[in-house]
Amino acid sequence: MNGTSPLRGRLAPSPTGALHLGNARTFLLAWLSIRSRNGTLVLRMEDLDHPKNKPGAAREALEDLRWLGFDWDEGPDVGGPYGPYTQTERIERYASALERLREQGLAYPCVCSRRDVEAGQSAPHTEDGLYYPGTCRGRFADFAAAQATLPPDRLPAWRFRVPEGEVVRFDDGFCGPYEQEVSAFSGDFVLARHALGAGYMLAVVVDDAAMGITEVVRGDDLLPTTPRQLLIYRALGLVPPRFFHTPLVVGPDGRRLAKRHGDTRIRAFREAGYPPEAVIALLAGISGLAEPGETALTLPELLPRFRWSAIPRTPAVFPR
């Protein structure tokens, strides 16, 4: 399948927990979108969130994906021309991107702790973080000056200087037109939590660009982060991919699938003796890709059925 089309997509699991129906359904759509058009799929392990990483979760996620029948052309286990495919092995790339932003005056050191930022507001402002009012903007001549104000066990973070009042717009392949005034929504956001590290927002841009990704399919919880990522693309002179933000899987109560809804880990289905075809049929069922009564399906069987227009706009509900 590789090499017949310029399309490149990616599966980007984080080893912070087990693969479950929610992330498997996102991967299903990402896989189908690329494979139905003979594109190339990359698997990238997003393991930068060290404190939340679970030992063995990266290996288990790959095993679970393989068990379901997913394949990829490039990844940590198969190599490829754009490796390494594990984010903790790509740190120097994030550091040099951060350096480029610093040279342009677009990154500044910040000594505010999470608690400081929380204290400044009554409620969390964004789904994925807190609104930051720019307290440290223009405050320190350099990183060392910021560091000198902190106790030895703490390091400044780096924040992106968001243009005031600019509305960032893009056309999402699934959700349609989306716009956000980043300076009012999140404010100056974190690029890196320590001198040379990188956070999700910077790493995902650097990696998607470096790996030649043309299409990003991911959960719509990340839709509001995309304008921030587009600002980084522009600042680094990189071409953004097309984005498709897809509805999450929710329980019958309409809340995002979680432990309270029972054990939806792919491994739990496997250990309970379900064949992978049953789990794919279930995922296809909640995604509008199965006929009533179909209880066993494979990924290749779904390829001819896949069209973005067939995917319901509303959250997928499990159990139905």
Residue 10 or 261 having the CB closest to ligand GLU: 10
Residue 14 C-beta: closest distance to ligand GLU, Å: 4
Q: How far is the CB of 208 from ligand GLU (least distance, A)?
A: 8
Q: How far is the CB of 13 from ligand GLU (least distance, A)?
A: 6
* Cα(178)–Cα(6) distance, integer angstroms: 26
If the CB atoms of residues 24 and 117 are measured against ligand GLU, the closer one turns out to be 24
* Closest distance to ligand GLU from the beta carbon of 229 (Å): 8
Among 201, 191, 200, 181, smallest CA distance to 160 is for: 191
Q: What is the DSSP letter of 298?
A: -
Integer distance in angstroms from the first to the last C-alpha of the chain? 34
Residues engaged in binding ligand GLU (CB under 6 A): 12-14, 46, 204, 218, 222
Euclidean distance between CA atoms 64 and 265, whole angstroms: 9
Closest to 97 measured CA to CA, from 225, 215, 201, 181:
201
Question: Closer to ligand GLU at the Cβ: 25 or 218?
Answer: 218
- Residue 246 or 281: the one with the smaller Cβ distance to ligand GLU is 246
Task: State in angstroms the smallest separation of the CB of 167 from ligand GLU.
Answer: 22
CB atoms closer than 10 angstroms to residue 168 = 20
Strand duo 242-246 + 215-219: pairing: parallel
Taking the C-alpha atoms of residue 282 and residue 238, their distance in angstroms, rounded to an integer, is 38
Tokens 């350099």 belong to which residue? 142
Q: Which is nearer to ligand GLU, 17 or 69 (CB)?
A: 17
